[in-house]
Amino acid sequence: MTLSADLSTLSTPAPLYEQVKKMITDNISNGTWPPNHRIPSEAELVAHLGFSRMTINRALRELTHQGLLIRMQGVGTFVAEPKGQSALFEVHSIRDEILARNHRHHCKIILLAEAQANSEQAAALNLGVGSKLFHSIIVHYENDTPVQIENRYVNPVVAPDYLQQDFQKITPHDYLSRVAPLTEGEHIVEAVLPSAEESQWLHIHASEPCLLIERRTWSKHHNVTYAKLLFPGTRHRLKGHFTS
């Protein structure tokens, strides 16, 4: 494997492992090593840079922990795909977030139907058990990669035409924002493993950790929606900002 020319230009006074990290991040940021590119092995970096294997290993471990690299035992180390990012304390359309990154959004509708509320859904939407609600499951794609499963339950009182919408053209978020403007929301975030079905929809291994956001929203005094948003952990992160 050919190494880029700037591998041998490490002259800063930083610790050796930090110099290696900078070399790798520079190659990623300037496009020399694009996403999914297999970078030189530990042995190749040791031979080329003259640093100890411990130094190289620490640099690779820290960059893997930071999400810039993916290490696959017996295969190699690869540049990770850039993670999408959502605002933790705000509610945005995933379509808008993807387009803001200059990427293409499309979706696959798994389910769009009327259902009866079980105890969990009834409590979340302040309905009686067995009450009518609307249920949709949509997989959202960034370019050609599935990045979110949107499993949503909707109160039909506030969005009676929900099932008649073309969610290939408008997202549920955008439609609901129009008919029942958000006045209050609640987020619960946890790490989970996907079900077998979810791992198939997201094209991930069943052992890959995912981020699950359980979201309830209100419009004035009405419960509007209860959604479970599932993201592959290697493709997404949450960002929050607050002031005191």
pLDDT at 221: 82
pLDDT at 196: 95
Options 3.40.120.10, 1.10.10.10, 3.30.360.10, 3.90.1150.10; CATH for 14-77 is 1.10.10.10
pLDDT at 244: 42
pLDDT at 79: 86
Query: Which residue type occupies 49?
Result: L
pLDDT digits (tens, 9 = 90+) for 198-223: 999 999 999 999 999 999 999 888 89
Domain spanning 82-237: which superfamily? Chorismate lyase-like (3.40.1410.10)
pLDDT at 2: 46
pLDDT at 91: 61
Q: Is 58 exposed, middle or buried (0-12, 13-18, 19+ CB in 10 A)?
A: middle
Cα dist. 152→27, 125, 226, 244 in Å?
41, 11, 6, 33
Q: Kindly give the parts of the chain with pLDDT less than 70.
A: 1-13, 82-91, 235-244
pLDDT at 4: 53
Where are the domain boundaries for CATH 1.10.10.10 in the chain?
14-77
